[in-house]
């Protein structure tokens, strides 16, 4: 996959085993690729709300652009593949202060929508004339409603209130945990002197690794290809690599590509050191056993 990509797209900004980051406009990159390669896309596009990495455009233009890149993602997704799309809120002149973007976009894609998952977090802006917003949505789409990956056992929630509850003398609860439901309470990546998250980078809209971990475990398998067309600080790629997937991302902004590259390098160095330590311990153990 990576050799084919570099023939089509040129040398990536960053490459490591099972990973490539291209510093380019995702739509331009996607249009150049011919054959489906994506098992799972996990992404959060710009929301058209004036963040430092986007230029606000008229609403219709924004929605058309979203439709265009989502169609390309659909074309390049394998038959049993999926798209997890994270979306926030947008103002609609004279209509809405903050409309959930899924209301405007959900059926402008050829994918089949399995479910909307609510991601609920504790920190955020405080409302004065409205309730303080504390959630965003993930739309879980698949290419084929009858053939898609869902590894529920890999993401069960071990936090069971009544683990010994019985029915007809048998333990009722799955010992591996419960279905984590469609509301996920996972903290946001926060900034600020005393409350900054450990995983925080200078990127202003970073995914928490825990959210992406649940999605990748549930919706893909070992060695499959996980893609993020709006890679930002590289969270999707980082988590995908940690879970033994291949990963590819596009990011238009060079400093963000650099952040992603540094994060991944740091992770790979740590894993290499941990791997070497493990090998050393194994050798010691074998030696000790043979004495
Ligand atoms: C919401 S952020 C994604 C953050 C990411 N999920 C993370 O964990 O860091 C959207 C990203 O899309 C990038 N972007 C905007 N337009 C793009 C385009 N046309 N092609 C590729 N990347 C783009 C922005 O620079 C920004 O980093």
pLDDT of 193 strictly over 80: no
pLDDT at 137: 97
* Cα 252 to middle of ligand 1, angstroms: 7
Q: Which domain holds residue 157?
A: 2-290
Q: Are 141 and 106 in contact (CB under 8 A)?
A: no
Contacts of 227 (CB under 8 A, 6+ apart): 37, 38, 40, 41, 42, 43, 73, 236, 247, 248, 249
Q: pLDDT tier at 144 (50, 70, 90 boundaries)?
A: very high
Q: Are 127 and 88 in contact (CB under 8 A)?
A: no
* Cα 275 to middle of ligand 1, angstroms: 32
Q: Give the pLDDT confidence of 71-81 residue by residue, as tens digits.
A: 999 999 999 99
Q: Which residues pair with 96 in a beta bridge?
A: 92
Closest Cα to atom 13 of ligand 1: 230
CA quadruple 233, 234, 236, 239: dihedral positive or negative? Answer: negative
The CATH code of the domain that includes 144 is: 3.40.50.150
Q: Which residue has the higher pLDDT, 278 or 3?
A: 3
Q: DSSP letter string over 248-259?
A: EEE-S-HHHHHH
pLDDT at 156: 97
Q: Give the pLDDT confidence of 213-258 residue by residue, as tens digits.
A: 999 999 999 999 999 999 999 999 999 999 999 999 999 999 999 9
* Assessment of whether the complete model's pTM goes beyond 0.85: yes
Q: How many domains does the chain have?
A: 1
Closest Cα to atom 4 of ligand 1: 232
Q: pLDDT tier at 271 (50, 70, 90 boundaries)?
A: confident
Q: Give the pLDDT confidence of 149-167 residue by residue, as tens digits.
A: 999 999 999 988 777 778 8
Longest Cα–Cα distance of the chain, Å, equals 80
């Amino acid at each position: 996959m990576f050799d084919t990509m570099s023939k089509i797209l040129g040398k990536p900004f960053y490459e490591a085993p099972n990973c490539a980051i291209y510093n380019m406009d995702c739509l331009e990159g996607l249009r150049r690729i011919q054959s489906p390669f994506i098992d799972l896309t996990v992404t959060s596009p710009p929301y058209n709300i004036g963040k430092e990495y986007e230029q606000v455009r008229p609403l219709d233009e924004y929605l058309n652009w979203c439709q265009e890149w989502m169609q390309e993602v659909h074309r390049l997704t394998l038959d049993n593949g999926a798209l997890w799309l994270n979306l926030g809120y947008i103002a609609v002149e004279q209509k809405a202060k903050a409309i959930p973007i899924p209301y405007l976009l959900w059926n402008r894609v050829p994918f089949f929508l399995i479910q909307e998952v609510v991601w609920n977090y504790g920190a955020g802006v405080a409302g004065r004339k409205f309730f303080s917003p504390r959630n965003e949505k993930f739309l879980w789409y698949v290419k084929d409603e009858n053939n898609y990956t869902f590894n529920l056992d890999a993401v069960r929630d071990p936090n069971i209130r009544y683990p010994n509850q019985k029915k007809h003398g048998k333990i009722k609860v799955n010992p591996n945990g419960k279905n984590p439901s469609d509301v996920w309470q996972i903290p946001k990546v926060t900034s600020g002197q005393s409350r900054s998250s450990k995983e925080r980078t200078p990127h202003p809209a970073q995914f928490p690794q825990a959210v992406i971990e649940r999605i990748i475990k549930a919706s893909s398998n070992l060695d499959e290809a996980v893609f993020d067309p709006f890679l930002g600080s590289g969270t999707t790629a980082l988590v995908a690599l940690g879970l033994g997937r291949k990963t590819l991302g596009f990011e238009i902004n060079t400093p963000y590509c650099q952040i992603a590259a540094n994060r991944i390098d740091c992770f790979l160095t740590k894993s290499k050191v941990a791997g070497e330590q493990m090998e050393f311990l194994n050798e010691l153990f074998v030696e000790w056993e043979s004495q």
